Amino acid sequence: MPGVLQGFRDIHRDLCSLGLDRIIAPAIGYLERGVELTPLQAGLLKTLTPILTYTEYGKEIFNPEQKRIYNPLLKEFLLALSWDAWFEKLYKAVEEFEHSSEKTGGVLTLKDVMEYRTARREPLLIPYRGRTILANPPPSFGGSLLKVAFDYLSTVNLRGMSGTEKILSRVSAMERMQRSKSLAGGTTHISVIDEDGNAASMTISNGSNSGCFLGDTGIMLNNMMGEDDLHPQGFYKMPCGERVPSMMSPTIIKEGDEVLYVLGSGGSKRIRTAMMQVIVNLIDEGMNIHDAVEFPRMHLDDEGVLQVEPGYSDDLLRPLGEYYNVNIWKEKDMYFGGVHIVTGDLRGWGDSRRGGVFREAE
């Protein structure tokens, strides 16, 4: 369901102070100049080429040999600079898509999109070491699984442990999260805080993309209805009207009324373990944001293999072999998520694993 536009509209209407022209200007600038691909993005484009180039327009804008991405239809769409105009274009595109997809088993209808409403929910509050972690509530599984981890970690004294004991405690928290239903989804994350202390943590996903564009909007639909991890009971088994859950975990950490950190991550099933480790690095280990994010990570995968980034000493890892099948990677990798973070005092860091950046805006 392409409901993100309505979510953006409601956020802008209720919470934003800047006009659409100022908010959209950077995006239009990128679309005019083209978005220069990083080596990581270029590699992903090649991996996803069969999906991204499914249509003629996809072949035009996602040429694996080009160094910049242009999307003229999306630029034209955004230049309308009006919520009413955007929704008019969206509804027209969905209506055309509905008619064309009926023959191939499509189930998305204009009625579905027009009846979509933004869901407003109170955050899940997780107390931890005198701080409060504000996490994504159900039906998302992300925040609930973080609560499982931190409920356990609250019962152990990490600071009084040896290095190996600390690692085993982290992996034990991963095991507890692993027992819960795990869901996947390709994601990107933005963390924002302003000089007045207003904070926003937003994670958004298009999965691996579907290859299908909505009319002439330049917007490619996601593939969430084709992600088997999101539908463990089988495709099209979920009742109509229910929202597909995910692992996305946009998070804010506070101490009293003060915002300390705003963070989140992409990384599919690794989101929960990446977030847990960075938060422990910040709160229990007292690391600064750069070190907390860039510190080597681990992930206990579905087969029970402990995937480990390089950087841990042999003395720390050797005892783990008594409990787990340990696989040490040759270098840090986007597999282990991409945690992007800003702080209450207006500092920030973007995870190098996923080409993250931090920018100050005036």
Question: Sorting pLDDT into bands at 50, 70 and 90, what band is 208?
Answer: confident
Question: Sorting pLDDT into bands at 50, 70 and 90, what band is 185?
Answer: very low
The pLDDT assigned to 229 comes to 67
Helix axes 142-153, 271-283, angle to 10 degrees: 40
Closest residue by Cα to residue 351 from 328, 335, 329, 327: 335
Q: Which of 53, 187, 251, 273 is catalytic?
A: 187
Of the candidate ranges 30-34, 94-98, 146-150, 273-277, the one whose mean pLDDT is the lowest: 94-98
Q: Looking at the DSSP assignment, which residues form a beta bridge with residue 326?
A: 306
The pLDDT assigned to 145 comes to 92
Q: Is the pLDDT of residue 184 over 60?
A: no
Distance CA 167, CA 298 (A): 9
Closest residue by Cα to residue 186 from 164, 166, 169, 203: 203
Question: Sorting pLDDT into bands at 50, 70 and 90, what band is 131?
Answer: very high
Tens digits of residue pLDDT in 306-355: 999 999 999 999 999 999 999 999 999 999 999 999 999 999 999 999 98
Distance CA 358, CA 191 (A): 9
Q: Which residue carries 């938060």 as its tokens? A: 279
Q: Does residue 187 have an active-site annotation?
A: yes
Question: Sorting pLDDT into bands at 50, 70 and 90, what band is 133?
Answer: very high
Q: Is the pLDDT of residue 246 over 60?
A: yes
**Residue 337 · residue 265 · CB < 8 Å:** yes
Distance CA 236, CA 324 (A): 36
**Residue 147 · residue 253 · CB < 8 Å:** no
Q: Is the pLDDT of residue 186 over 80?
A: no
Q: What structural domains and CATH numbers belong to the chain?
A: 4-118 (no CATH), 124-188+246-354 (3.60.20)
3 state SS of 206: coil
Q: Is the pLDDT of residue 73 over 60?
A: yes
Q: Is the pTM of this model over 0.85?
A: yes
Distance CA 184, CA 227 (A): 8
Q: List, in order, residues 6 or more apart from 148 with CB less than 8 Å away.
A: 173, 176, 177, 180
Tens digits of residue pLDDT in 264-310: 998 888 999 999 999 999 999 999 999 999 999 999 998 999 999 99
Angle at CA of residue 77, ends 209 and 266, nearest 5° = 35
The pLDDT assigned to 180 comes to 66
Question: Sorting pLDDT into bands at 50, 70 and 90, what band is 24?
Answer: very high
Over residues 244-249, mean pLDDT: 82
Tens digits of residue pLDDT in 29-69: 999 999 998 888 888 888 889 999 999 999 999 987 888 99
